Amino acid sequence: MTVISENRNEAQMIASILAGNTHEFHDLIQPYERSVYSMALSMLQNEADAEDAAQEAFLKAFRNLERFRGEAKFSTWLISITLNEARSRLRQKKTAKTESLDELNEGGHVSPALLRDWREIPSEALERQEVRLLLQDAIGDLPLIYRQVFVLRDMEDLSVNQSAEALGISVAAAKVRLHRARLMLQKRLSPQLKQVMPKRRWFPWF
């Protein structure tokens, strides 16, 4: 998640927007645009759907800004809206997972947003693409409850507490789900990644 500078007072910005200075809303959400899109993409597995979901999440945040009480961070509140929007779209399209994985792999294009925590990838372009595809597919195939917390904690850099708050679950549940997500990824990816680059330690959390 993007780190906000100390001189950025979001409470004041929100108060100003609610007072009628709606043009400031873009400045409020700009640091989170990448994170919101990344979160939507990780769940929907389709770039066009993720863009639509992200835009809808920002619209809902704007329309409901007066309901934000500051009890949580604005970024956590915004991610919660994004999660709810993505969940709603998944419910409406039960076959989205299978279809979107096929769409994602067409043309070999993979967004780097979901892979920012795996920066040390093979230098040769073909190997790098192979690793990205392996990771993309593995994360996309995680059951939704595990994928959500994995993306928030290990890809968007939220704390476990913030991840739990965004998901509306207990910290203990978030820790359990995160651990299981990591185990699933390790079990699936270790043999494949070792073939691509055998000397690398791929899973630093173990």
Encode pLDDT of 61-108 as tens digits: 999 999 998 878 899 999 999 999 998 998 887 654 444 444 444 443
* Whether residues 67 and 144 fall in one domain: no
Contacts of residue 171, Cβ cutoff 8 Å, sequence gap at least 6: 160, 161, 164
- Domain of 190, CATH number, reads 1.10.10.10
Would the pLDDT of 1 be above 90?
no
* Whether residues 21 and 75 fall in one domain: yes
Is residue 181 domain-resident? yes
Contacts of residue 190, Cβ cutoff 8 Å, sequence gap at least 6: 202, 203
- Domain of 70, CATH number, reads 1.10.1740.10
> Which of 49, 64, 98 lies at the terminal end of a domain, its last residue?
98
* Whether residues 77 and 135 fall in one domain: no
Residue 42: pLDDT band (50, 70, 90) is confident
* Whether residues 15 and 85 fall in one domain: yes
Element (H, E) at 190: helix 171-196
| Overall domain count for the chain | 2
Taking the CB of residue 124, how many other CB atoms lie within 10 A of it?
11
The boundaries of the domain holding residue 129 are: 122-198
Is residue 69 domain-resident? yes
Is residue 117 domain-resident? no
* Whether residues 187 and 133 fall in one domain: yes
User: What is the rounded CA–CA span in Å between residue 127 and residue 121?
Assistant: 8
Would the pLDDT of 204 be above 90?
no
pTM, 2 dp: 0.66
Contacts of residue 10, Cβ cutoff 8 Å, sequence gap at least 6: 4, 28, 74
* Whether residues 33 and 80 fall in one domain: yes
Q: How far apart are the first and last CA of the chain?
A: 23
pLDDT of residue 198: 61
Is residue 3 domain-resident? no
* Whether residues 144 and 79 fall in one domain: no
> Which of 98, 130, 159 lies at the terminal end of a domain, its last residue?
98
* Whether residues 15 and 82 fall in one domain: yes
Residue 191: pLDDT band (50, 70, 90) is confident
Average pLDDT rounded to a whole number, residues 151-161: 88
Q: What percent of the chain has pLDDT over 90?
A: 43
pLDDT of residue 186: 85
pLDDT of residue 27: 93
Contacts of residue 79, Cβ cutoff 8 Å, sequence gap at least 6: 1, 32, 35, 36, 39, 152, 156, 158, 166
User: What is the rounded CA–CA span in Å between residue 79 and residue 203?
Assistant: 26
